[in-house]
Structures are given as structure tokens and as C-alpha cells.
Amino acid sequence: MDLQSIRREYLTGSLTREQLNADPVAQFGLWLDQAIKMEMVDPTAMVLATTDADGQPNQRVVLLKGFDAQGFVFFTNYESRKSLDIAANAKVSLHFPWYPVERQVLVCGVAEKVSADESRAYFQSRPRESQLGAWASPQSRVLASREAMMEQFESVKARFADQDIPLPTFWGGFRVRPVRVEFWQGGANRLHDRFQYSNCVDGHWQIDRLAP
């Protein structure tokens, strides 16, 4: 494979300081809305990067389930690898790779658990099978086989037959409170447009253009 010859130009658009909203969350909302309207595949998919207690970085794809001025929300098993990493180091990053529109968004911030009420409201909105899956999966732990996992799923399904499925005590959401947000728009000749929002001590956001 000749990987070095695989390249393309980024010619979809450009980004100027004048185009940016003063609030990075509002700017993110604009870009996300555009991605959704373009019917991109998984526009809410984001790479969550964490670091474990030994300093080893870990990454995985999770789905954004809400965002506002307070931060960006996703849900998971609180006993999973990502949750254990966050317990050791709450500083995380989120990366939205919107390749079809030659855009990226990077969010760096601090993760904290959402309230049980917020987790319960989202859990109850999920399809019943997904609720059962949350109960059945010991996320990130070693499994004997897929058959063992499916047996556990069927056991949980029988346990909660004909009744509402409660929120597991080991499952819920995290909110990533941003301290730095970067918007990247691909440009010709690798001269990309990059703008970084930095959260200042007085609460306002400083915006700087970064070299590509």
C-alpha cells in the first residue's frame, strides 16, 4: 500500500473570525445543525479521550446526547473503562470529525456526573432493548463468549418482563464542561482555518486564530 500518495485538497469552504459566534456552544450548535440537515452519518458521534491512573490515554466513540451552556452530555456505564479513567482524571477531550464537510470540533474540559434525575429521564427515553442492554452488559470487562453475553441479556429480559425497567445504579451521564473549544475548517494547500475559544477567568471567551 502506498499510503504516502493518498491525499486530497480541502476545498469545501473557509472560516473567518467575522463568521464566528461569540459563544462556542452557540457556534457548535450552528455547525451541528448544518451537519444534521446534510444527513451526515452519525453527526453526533464524537471521540472521547481519557487518561487512566497510569497516564495511558484511551479513546472511544460515544454519542452526544445533549449540550448547552453548561457543557456536552453523554451516557455510559459508570463502571466502564472510560468512567474509571474519569474518576482518576476528570480532564477529557471530545472530537467531532465531520469529514464530509471538512470540519472538526475539539472540546477540552472537565467531566462530571449529571444528576440521577437527568440520567433517569434519558434512560427512560431509550428503546426498551437498549435499557435491557445497559443492565446486561458489564461494560469493558472480559467476557467468556458472546453466547454468555446473550444469555445474560435474556436473563435480564425475563427479570423485567411486563414491568418498567429502572435506571441501573451503575449507569448514567457525564457532562463535559468546556474550557477550550477549537473549530477547524479545511483549506487548500493545507492552510486550514483554525479558531480557538479559551474560557477566561471573568467568564467570557477569548477567540484566537491558530496556525494550521
89-93, 105-109, 159-163, range with the lowest pLDDT:
159-163
- What SS3 string covers the chain? CCHHHCCCCCCCCCCCHHHCCCCHHHHHHHHHHHHHHCCCCCCCEEEEEEECCCCCEEEEEEECCEEECCEEEEEEECCCHHHHHHHHCCEEEEEEEEHHHCEEEEEEEEEEECCHHHHHHHHHHCCHHHHHHHHHCCCCCCCCCHHHHHHHHHHHHHHCCCCCCCCCCCEEEEEEEEEEEEEEECCHHHCCEEEEEEECCCCCEEEEEECC
Instruction: Give catalytic status of residue 190 as yes or no.
Output: yes
Binding residue per annotation — 7?
Answer: yes
Binding residue per annotation — 63?
Answer: yes
Binding residue per annotation — 91?
Answer: no
Q: Taking 90 as the threshold, does the pLDDT of residue 29 lie above it?
A: yes
The tens digit of pLDDT for each residue in 61-99 reads: 999 999 999 999 999 999 999 999 999 999 999 999 999
Q: Which CATH architecture has domain 7-116+169-209?
A: Roll (2.30)
Q: Taking 90 as the threshold, does the pLDDT of residue 57 lie above it?
A: yes
Record the pTM.
Answer: 0.93
Report pLDDT for 140.
Answer: 87
Of residues 17, 128, 141, 190, which has the active-site annotation? Answer: 190
Q: Taking 90 as the threshold, does the pLDDT of residue 203 lie above it?
A: no
> What percentage of residues in the chain have a pLDDT greater than 90?
91
Place 176 in a pLDDT band, splitting at 50, 70 and 90: very high
Domain ranges of the chain: 7-116+169-209
Report pLDDT for 69.
Answer: 94
Report pLDDT for 182.
Answer: 98
Output the average pLDDT for the chain: 96
Report pLDDT for 145.
Answer: 94
Report pLDDT for 91.
Answer: 98
Binding residue per annotation — 191?
Answer: yes
